[in-house]
Structure 1
Amino acid sequence: MEKINLGQISKQIRGVSYKPNDVIDSKNSGYIPLLKGNNIQDFDIDWSNVIYIKENNISENQLLRFGDILLTSSSGSKNLLGKHLMIKSNNINVTFGAFCKVIRPIKNKIYPYYLDAYFKTNTYRKYIQNVTQGANINNLRNEDFDNIEIPLPSYADQIRIANVLGKIEEVIQARKNAIDQLDELVKATFYDMFDDPVRNEKGIPLKELTTKIGSGSTPKGGDESYKDEGISLIRSLNIYNNKFSYDKLAHIDDDQAYKLRNVIVESDDILLNITGASVARCCIVPNDVLPARVNQHVSILRFKKDTINPYYAVHLLTSDSFQKYLYELSTSKSATREAITKDQLENLLVNVPPLDIQNQFAAIAQKIGKLKAEQEKQLLEMQALYASVSHAAFSGTLDLTRIPYDERLLPVVEPVNEPEVIDKKKEEPKELENKIPLQLNGLSGKRTKDVLPSTNEWSKLSFKKIAELITNHFQANYFNSEMLLRFLTEEAKLNVDYFSSKEQKLNLKLENANDFLIFLSDAVTDKNPYLKLEQVFYDAEVENIIGIAFTIQDLEKLSKKTTQERSGIYFRIKNETTTR
């Protein structure tokens, strides 16, 4: 694959220099937002702590526009250098500061989303680390960016690569959103059952509720004394709120562990960071790291199990209000160093609700925890898939021949005023269904015209009437839930009741509501007297079933999906001729 220097396909725009009296902290007439390095978070804009600058201080060129790559070019930390985001809309009327710069793609030279994907690669990160290695000033120069070599396939292939990686990113973001929602559900449940733990004045000192409060030390020799395997030594970098990180988990030998025998970690112990920037982070120790010890930055909290359920305790300590309280406690004796002393811990007041109520909460939290663990597992798998596909795409080994793309995104070629030469051998344009790598099976059998119901309210229609609509439309053809929902909403014009699992959890009245999912589930399990469905797994790679009721709308949507995404469960109506 051809490589080209970034400077040949983009321009660099410097950030805005300003004086303290040029900016304000809130919106005001004549001022616009100015983004700094701390506003670039996870490839997106973090609008918290945004400052505003006088509009007349900004040149037109320094206003962000679609396709711009905004990145940090100067920073107090080398780890933050080069982090970026792509501007995905026009006319946002936002500018950026002097410690940032913009890489602006030259129109029709490179597809912006492709360039954005390249800036997310390990190759780019390693390049940034190499050019800043040994530098005394954490600063990226113009030539550092101009000299980046970018693999440059055809514009069509750039679109294909960006689309494939974008689809994976959508799934990754969906997993992250699901994890966040599960975290919020646990928090909401805790506050609903126990109220704000800090506002409640009733409390018992922690020393009366525990059998162990204590931290350890670092073995002599520090990092160099750690072993490749052995007994785990848990450090503050392993502790996150309600999550244990196995990354950089240290190990020590039996002799080193013996010297730390006073801080042996046991099952269900709560680990609390007591010093540094990560102070107050807290989690329950996972059993698979035992046997273990802790160093001086982590304290063990071992609660009396006949009084405190550890799951209640850890969610109390990680609640937003308690985290804020612990942080304030850690800075109460020093403005420069966060630290919670053993004496402060021992006298920390903790609310103690009835144990049976704690146990009820713990059961809920553990169930949600299992769902979260599954989402986290899927997230890791998708992140690994993204890394693999990205590496293949930018090394030129990814097969792009079967990946569709929108030709409207190609650069517009200016017409040349030359006589038109008609090539009689030129291939005739193919129909839409031939452009799509799918078999258009069509609707089989003679189908009568759909008779729409007199009302479009789902709750006012009988399941019998809904079943008749579906039977008349699909007959003996296969369809999936997405196609069925599209027919009901777009063609039958029904306001379909469709309650998500989140809605059901937040509103128990919806748990057994007769919505679309209940209707479909009953049809598959033979509980629906008016409609019975069989289900088959469709493998789009080999197209193992025929007679799928694809419409043009379905094909347009499916053409943008990968083979794996098009595969899945399809249904067919059971009757004397279809039941096997």
Structure 2
Amino acid sequence: MVGSEPSGDYSELKKAKPGYKLVKSLFGKEIEIPEEWDVKELKNLAKIKGRIGWRGYSQNDFVEEGKGVISLGGTNIKNDKLDLSKRRYVTFEKYDESPEIQVNTNDILIQKTGTIGGVALIDKNVGKATINPNVSIIKKILCNSLFLSFSLTNSYVKKQINRFKTATSVPLLTQEQISSLIIFVPSKPEQQKIASILSNVVSLISSFDEFLSHTKRLKTGLMQQLLTEGIGHKKFKKVNLGFGKTIEFPEEWKIEILKENTSKIGSGITPFGGSEVYQKDGIPFIRSQNVHFDGLHLDNVAYITQEIHDKMSGTKLKSMDVLLNITGASIGRCSIVPEKFGEGNVNQHVCIIRSKPSLFPGFLNYFLISSLMQNMINSVQGGISRQGLNFKDLGNLHIPIPKFEEQQKITSILSEVDKKINNLESNKTRLENLKKGLMQNLLTGQIRVTV
């Protein structure tokens, strides 16, 4: 293979299984790789270049589209893929003055400031383009470019990058550090086969992602239609919901304020002692970080004792309560308490909305999630220095009240779409875990490919 072996930390150690060798990795740990694989520093596999010194940008260097070239940076690296949805352009002069960082197909970008270590392969012709000072570009690659881009995103390289993180407010990855990254290098035919396998998995994940995004867009449109037009209605009326919102609803739907159709609108408190009184188990104590549009996320839920729970009797949860975040950055986020949730309580940032028999909880939850209601919530709390909803304004929000049976039908239709979305997300997660495992095993030779 090209280049020389890095000295020191990666020397061979004790006996490995037949056909493999042990090399020292970070913090003295050992990694087993095939005997015929090489261990190379990145500088021996490619040239690493960056926009440094006087060749940085000034405001005068930026131009409109069509009057210059694309300037690629960290915003163009998303999930270790090239993302051209956000583009900035610089003059042709800035492009011409630095030919060593002009972008070509099969070059690789690596982010060196901010979220350091993000990687993007230039897998298509992007036209004339250069890079900004926030990234470095890997060029003149002597191995398979796709294989190298996967290697740079694998866990053993990410661990090397994390080791370089500084205590400064803006993390920085130097070109010298990038050049010293260790890559395990098989033969070129094996590189190509590994890259092909991983690329196929990535393509499958992308297909799932596109279908998932399409299904979510369909759900948004379906929600708008069902929550304003209902099912089978032909006559409509214009309704002023306040805050400049005039919407058409079916004539037979009632429009009433929320508090007329609820038995409770209120939030809890933080127990005396704050987080110090939280337990490892006990009664789930729901905080704003647990309330999401797709349901309650309980992986980081806090717990309180039965005694504290009983003292906060006014905010004990009941099944089918709708929970709404009323303060902070997640204001307006809501979800419903499942039927078999059991006991629970909430803090002061989460509001319990408990429906009367006239209002089906599932319908209320979907209406609160809808863009129409989210915009109204934003209108209610707009202009407040500290984001927050008060119970009075919340209770006075106008909502449509169809017949109870129609509320249930609308909820059922949207729930079925949510089930499909959840299944797609689960399948995507399984594929991502498969990719992660394959990357670890293929890029260290634990799984060998036939060539």
Q: Same fold (TM over 0.5)?
A: yes
Corresponding residue number in structure 2 for 1:72 = 111
Q: Verify: 1:11 aligned to 2:47, yes or no.
A: yes
- Structure 1 residues 181, 151: closer, same or farther in 2, change over 3 A? same
Which residue, 210, 218, 226 being the options, matches 2:262? Answer: 210
Give me the whole-angstrom Cα distance separating, in 2, the residues matched to 1:46 and 1:217.
43
Contact 1:40 1:83 in 2 (8 A): yes
More strand by share: 2
Determine if contact 1:13/1:101 at 8 Å carries over to the other structure.
Answer: no
Is this contact kept in 2: 1:311–1:365, CA < 8 A? no
Residue 200 (structure 1) aligned with residue 247 (structure 2) = yes
Q: CA shift at 1:220, angstroms? A: 4.7
8 Å CA contact 1:241, 1:283 repeated in 2: yes
Question: Which whole-Å deviations, capped at 9, do the CAs of 1:347-402 have from their partners, x for residues lacking one?
Answer: 2222333333322211111222222222222222222222221221223211312x
The answer on whether the counterparts of 1:6 and 1:149 sit within 8 Å (CA) in structure 2 is yes
In structure 2, runs of 5+ residues without a counterpart are 1-32, 230-240, 250-254
Query: Are residues 316 and 161 of structure 1, via their aligned partners in 2, closer, same or farther at CA, if it must alter by over 3 Å?
Result: same
Calculate the aligned-residue CA RMSD, in Å: 2.8
1:126–1:216 distance in 2 versus 1, CA, 3 Å: farther
Please tell me whether residue 237 in structure 1 is matched to residue 289 in structure 2: yes
The equivalent residue for 2:124 is 89
Q: Distance in 2 between matches of 1:179 and 1:169?
A: 15
- Residues 392 and 301 (structure 1 numbering): CA distance in 2 closer, same or farther, change over 3 Å? same
State how 1:41-56 maps to structure 2 within 5 Å. 41-56=78-93
Give the partner amino acid of 2:362: Y
Distance 1:388 1:348, change over 3 A: same
1:296-324 residue CA offsets vs partner (Å, 9 max, x unmatched): 332222222x3333333223222234334
Does structure 2 retain, via aligned residues, the 8 Å contact 1:270–1:282? yes
CA displacement, residues 493-536 of structure 1 (integer Å, 9 cap, x when unaligned): xxxxxxxxxxxxxxxxxxxxxxxxxxxxxxxxxxxxxxxxxxxx
Aligned to 1:255: 307
Match of 2:154 in 1: 121
Equivalent residue number for residue 23 of structure 2? none
Aligned to 2:397: 348
Q: CA distance change for structure 1 residues 364 and 212 in 2, over 3 Å: closer, same or farther?
A: same
Bigger Rg, which one = 1
* Greater displacement, 42-51 / 267-276: 42-51
**Is contact 1:67–1:104 with CA below 8 Å preserved after alignment?**
no
Distance across 1 between alignment mates of 2:162 and 2:270: 30
Report Cα offsets for 1:41-67 as digits up to 9, x if no partner.
233444455333223222333333222
Q: Deviations over 1:82-141 (max 9, x none)?
A: 22322211243333322x21331433x222212222233333333333321534542222
1:149 aligns with 2:182: yes
In the alignment, residue 200 of structure 2 is paired with which amino acid? Answer: K
TM-score using structure 1 length: 0.61
TM-score normalised according to structure 2 size: 0.77
Secondary structure of 1:119's aligned partner: helix
For residues 92-491 of structure 1, the aligned pairs below 5 Å read 92-98=127-133, 100-107=134-141, 109-195=142-228, 198-200=245-247, 203-287=255-339, 289-304=341-356, 306-334=357-385, 337-401=386-450
Q: Aligned in 2, Cα 1:71/1:253: closer, same or farther, shift over 3 Å?
A: farther
User: In the alignment, what sits opposite 1:558?
Assistant: none
Structure 2 vs 1, CA of residues 294 and 84 (structure 1 numbering), >3 Å: closer, same or farther? farther
Secondary structure at the counterpart of residue 429 of structure 2: helix
Gaps of 5+ in 1: 405-580
CA contact 1:32–1:54 (8 Å) conserved in 2: yes
What is the CA deviation profile of residues 177-234 of structure 1, one whole-angstrom value per residue up to 9, with x for unaligned ones? 3332332222222222334985428843222222222223344555554333222222
Q: Alignment partner of 1:200: what SS? A: strand
Within-5 A mapping of 1:23-42: 23-24=62-63, 27=65, 29-42=66-79
CA distance in 2, matches of 1:221, 1:131: 39
Per the alignment, in what secondary structure is the counterpart of residue 132 of structure 1? coil
Give, as a single letter, the amino acid of the residue that structure 2 aligns with 1:8: N
Q: Is the 8 A contact 1:215 1:300 kept in 2?
A: yes
Measured in 2, the distance between the counterparts of 1:126 and 1:115 equals 16
Is this contact kept in 1: 2:257–2:396, CA < 8 A?
Answer: yes
Identity %: 26
d(CA) in 2 for partners of 1:378, 1:133: 37
Question: What is the DSSP-based 3-state SS (H/G/I as helix, E as strand, rest coil) of the residue aligned with 1:118?
Answer: helix
8 A Cα contact 2:104 2:125, kept in partner: yes
Amino acid at match of 2:104: R
Give the partner amino acid of 1:67: N
Residues 33, 259 of structure 1: alpha-carbon distance in 2 compared, 3 angstrom cutoff: farther
CA contact (8 A) 1:214 1:342 kept: yes
